């Protein structure tokens, strides 16, 4: 993806107030992010690891989600990320996004199991290892896996804004 500025990132959030988007912790090392290898930018607030964020460019527009991140799925010995389909021996995290607008104010949310460090892009590309047996053997090309991840991310954003 093309690098995003802090301003673009803050303006992208669809499911939190403008005030919250202004205050949330944007990574300080934006210039050092591996943008060429990212399908979306995902991070956790280092001060508050229960807060996670995801920003993807969909139809040419940055869209961001504020998420509440659980710890690794409890009881599960492994879990599969519903975005990139990487299996993590240590489990994946349940990420819950309050819905955008009125539905969110009424407490509605959408959840998905996602790589706990939100590094789907790097797992898909083999730039980060998730442990033994982490990836199913698939005949898909890298491009197809990337496209699938983006389809899943877009569907998640759609559910939050629906
Ligand atoms: Zn993932």
Give residue-wise pLDDT tens across range 124-157. Answer: 999 998 876 655 677 899 999 999 999 999 999 9
How remote is the CA of residue 85 from the centroid of ligand 1, in Å?
Answer: 6
How does residue 49 score in pLDDT terms, banded at 50, 70 and 90?
Answer: confident
- The alpha carbon of 55 and the centre of ligand 1 are apart by a number of angstroms equal to 14
CA 106 vs CA 33, 36, 103: distances in Å: 35, 38, 5
Structural domain boundaries in the chain: 6-161
Q: What global pTM score does this model have?
A: 0.92
Task: Tell me what the pLDDT averaged over the chain comes to.
Answer: 92
- 63-80: pLDDT as tens digits: 999 999 976 555 555 689
- The span from the CA of 33 to the CA of 10, in Å, is 17
Contact 70, 94 (CB under 8 A): yes
- Expressed in angstroms and rounded, the spacing between residue 137 Cα and the centre of ligand 1 is 16
- Please tell me the distance between residue 82's alpha carbon and the centre of ligand 1 in angstroms: 7
Measure the CA–CA gap between 155 and 92, rounded to whole angstroms. 19
């Amino acid at each position: 993806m093309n690098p995003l500025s802090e301003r673009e990132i803050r303006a992208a959030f669809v499911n939190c107030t403008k005030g919250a988007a202004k205050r949330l912790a944007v990574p300080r090392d934006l210039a050092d992010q591996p943008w060429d290898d990212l399908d979306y930018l995902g991070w956790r607030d280092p001060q508050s690891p229960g807060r996670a964020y995801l920003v993807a460019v969909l139809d040419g527009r940055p869209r961001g989600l504020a998420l509440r991140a659980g710890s690794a799925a409890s009881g599960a010995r492994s879990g599969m990320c519903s975005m990139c389909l990487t299996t993590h021996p240590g489990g994946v995290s349940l990420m819950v996004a309050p819905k955008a607008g009125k539905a969110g104010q009424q407490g509605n949310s959408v959840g998905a199991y996602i790589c706990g460090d939100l590094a789907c892009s790097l797992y898909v590309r083999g730039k980060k290892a998730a442990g033994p047996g982490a990836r199913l053997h698939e005949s898909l090309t890298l491009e197809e896996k990337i496209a699938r991840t983006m389809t899943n991310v877009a569907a998640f954003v759609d559910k939050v804004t629906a």
